[in-house]
Structure 1
């Protein structure tokens, strides 16, 4: 599995800094510009009463700053808790942030650093990772965020080891998740660590979710647009290959179609397209397979033939390597009904 940096512990009640007879306190940070969905994830997972369990979490919303808390969608949130409450928290959740470049109040940074120092766990959902990074707590650690922000995070905080593929990462007391719904995966992981796999599975069923998802976020990342087309013959070759992907396209055939030698063709293709011809061909075959899986019910046994893979084994291997999940799982999640 590629969703987590560590395998989840199955030990129940493994909760940092808590009296065994007292429900652990989870605090969600609220701020002006609050990301409503990410905040809702924290509330649904940790604030909802669950009388079917002998023990559960206490929950508190904590204001990151003074002033109104306006949330996405025209909602205003009223929170009476202040940063001092974080001194009692077992888990602190930062549900998004108002922008990758938006400054983080120093008082919030200080409170998070102090909580971390005394053993509290700190988790971010999506862009909330930029709050954790601003505290310095991600220095030297692995972290992730929404695929749209991973490059920005790596550029802005080069001392953080950014993994752009996984759904979430646990590194010591720090937890980070990929975009939006990956916060659910992270939350279930934390519940699993605290109360065990059975209770986490029960919560997942209530949410109509799998208890644990396979793969990472790579399968959801849009394919990059090709470089600008130039009148060199290579662009025409690419169109020809795309229209006949079910055929074999070795380098020699591509070079002949582009009216050049194999060595010259490989060099020019790399200069103009940015990848080698064979790597480009693999990505085109996988992309075509993904389109077929998303938009049709063609049997898998026919998909690899239509896309020009040499065998079903090659198809499954290359598809999983590129998309992060096997073809059958990809169709289950993203395919047409």
Structure 2
């Protein structure tokens, strides 16, 4: 029997905690047998989740006997991880256990040093903090999960489902994993990464920036095929001065700023209207649907059609 230990620390996120419990405990092999035994463990008699108090049925030493250890995220992802927990996780890894984190659980795994020199992910909002606190980890905020063999990390919330299904497929093949996916009402593989769930933000503009009127004008004219000369003329400056001021005040170029503004507008239209992708491409200033699709996928991480299928509102309005 493959033992899956799920670690519950104080302020554990209930959704992250329940995901591996539900997914692994429902797996069935072709002969009807259950390949996994899931054990919720903790280093205290009770665990405060914030919403309720949890009494874990297994002690922390369970980690030392587990084949797979799941690390759910905690509400304060940056909180210090108890040294006893770190020690047990390291010993479990030395014994051959597979360790996988969900969402901010990456901070727990990172605290062990086992991710140093490896690529990892976490919720896109927490990615900058993870990278700052653990500079030896290559943090990739654009993917749903990262598999480094025995050390795996996943993005926020639902990406934990993706990771669990990936582990099941590794252990028992695609057919068993597909059955588990159907029980979870999930696709076995989702197209795109975290980028599709992130509205591309413009670099912050300092309050009182001299570019504010120009930025508003650019935002209002995303449907027009603007050149650098057009933007510079509107701002009453040379192209060279325009580029310099953009770098100084926004940290990017006029073209990149405009492209992100167009993609944000396109996301809104894909969510809120029935307009064909080809028409939307023109409405946000792209000369061809092909160029639009290419740029959209580069920024958002998925195609316009897939984005619409995922985020389409039920009451379209122009």
Normalised-by-shorter TM-score class: over 0.9
Paired position in structure 1 for 2:181: 204
Cα distance in structure 2, aligned partners of 1:289 and 1:224: 13
**Could you tell me whether the CA contact under 8 Å between 1:46 and 1:59 is conserved in 2?**
yes
Asked if the contact 2:28–2:176 (Cα under 8 Å) also holds between the matched residues in 1, the reply is no
Matched, 1:24 2:9: no
Is the CA contact 2:243–2:254 (under 8 Å) kept in the aligned structure 1? yes
What is the distance in 2 between the residues matched to 1:188 and 1:231? 48
1:97 offset after TM fit, Å? 2.4
In structure 1, C-alpha distance between the alignment counterparts of 2:303 and 2:97, rounded to whole Å: 37
Please report how far the alpha carbon of residue 294 of structure 1 lies from its aligned counterpart in structure 2 after TM superposition. Answer: 1.2
**Kept after mapping to 1: 8 A contact 2:122/2:154:** yes
Q: 1:217-266: CA deviations, max 9, x gaps?
A: 1122243353135363x322222222222222001111111111111122
The residue number in structure 2 matching 1:59 is 38
The runs of at least 4 consecutive aligned structure 1 residues that moved more than 6 Å come to none
TM-score, reference length from structure 2: 0.93
Q: Does structure 2 retain, via aligned residues, the 8 Å contact 1:62–1:82?
A: yes
Q: What residue in structure 2 maps to residue 96 of structure 1?
A: 73
Please list the CA deviations of residues 303-337 of structure 1 after superposition, one character each: whole Å capped at 9, or x if unmatched. Answer: 00100101011000000000000000000001112
Q: After superposition, what is the alpha-carbon deviation per residue over 1:185-238, rounded to whole angstroms, capped at 9, x for unaligned?
A: 100100110111111111111111111011111122243353135363x32222
Q: Secondary structure at the match of 1:126?
A: coil
Shift of 1:130: 1.0
Cα distance change of structure 1 residues 26 and 231 upon mapping to structure 2, 3 Å threshold? closer
C-alpha separation in 2, matches of 1:71 and 1:50: 30
User: Is 1:37 matched up with 2:18?
Assistant: no
Tell me if 1:193 matches 2:176.
Answer: no
- Separation in structure 1 between the aligned mates of residue 72 and residue 100 of structure 2, nearest angstrom: 8
SS of 2:104's partner is: helix
Q: Specify every segment of 5 or more residues in structure 2 that has no aligned partner in the other structure, as ranges.
A: none
For 1:81, the equivalent position in structure 2 comes to 58
Deviation at 1:128, TM superposition (A): 0.8
Deviation, structure 1 residue 58: 1.1
**Post-superposition CA distance 1:49-76 (Å, at most 9, x none):** 647644421111111x224212242x22
Q: Which moved more, 1:325-334 or 1:265-274?
A: 265-274
**Deviation by residue 1:89-139 (Cα, 9 ceiling, x = unmatched):** 110001112423312121211111111111110011011111111111111
Answer yes or no: is the 8 Å Cα contact 1:97–1:130 preserved in 2. Answer: no
Q: For residues 154 and 310 of structure 2, what CA distance do their matches in structure 1 show? A: 20
Q: Which has the higher contact order (CA 8 A, sep 6+)?
A: 1
Q: What is the alpha-carbon distance in structure 2 between the residues aligned to residue 139 and residue 242 of structure 1?
A: 42
Distance in 2 of aligned mates of 1:120 and 1:200: 21
CA contact (8 A) 1:36 1:72 kept: no
Residues 12-71 of structure 1 deviation map (CA, whole Å, 9 limit, x = unaligned): xxxxxxxxxxx21111111222210001101111123647644421111111x2242122
TM norm structure 1: 0.88
In 2, distance between residues paired with 1:262 and 1:31? 55
Alpha-carbon RMSD: 1.6
Paired residue for 2:208? 230
- Once the two structures are superposed, residues 254-301 of structure 1 have per-residue CA deviations (whole angstroms, 9 ceiling, x without a partner) of 111111111112211221222101111111111110111111111112
Per-residue Cα deviation, 1:123-181 (whole angstroms, up to 9, x for no partner): 11011111111111111111111111111111111111111111100112101001111
Distance in 2 between the 1:183 and 1:158 partners?
24
Unaligned stretches of 5+ in structure 1?
1-22
Match of 1:306 in 2: 283
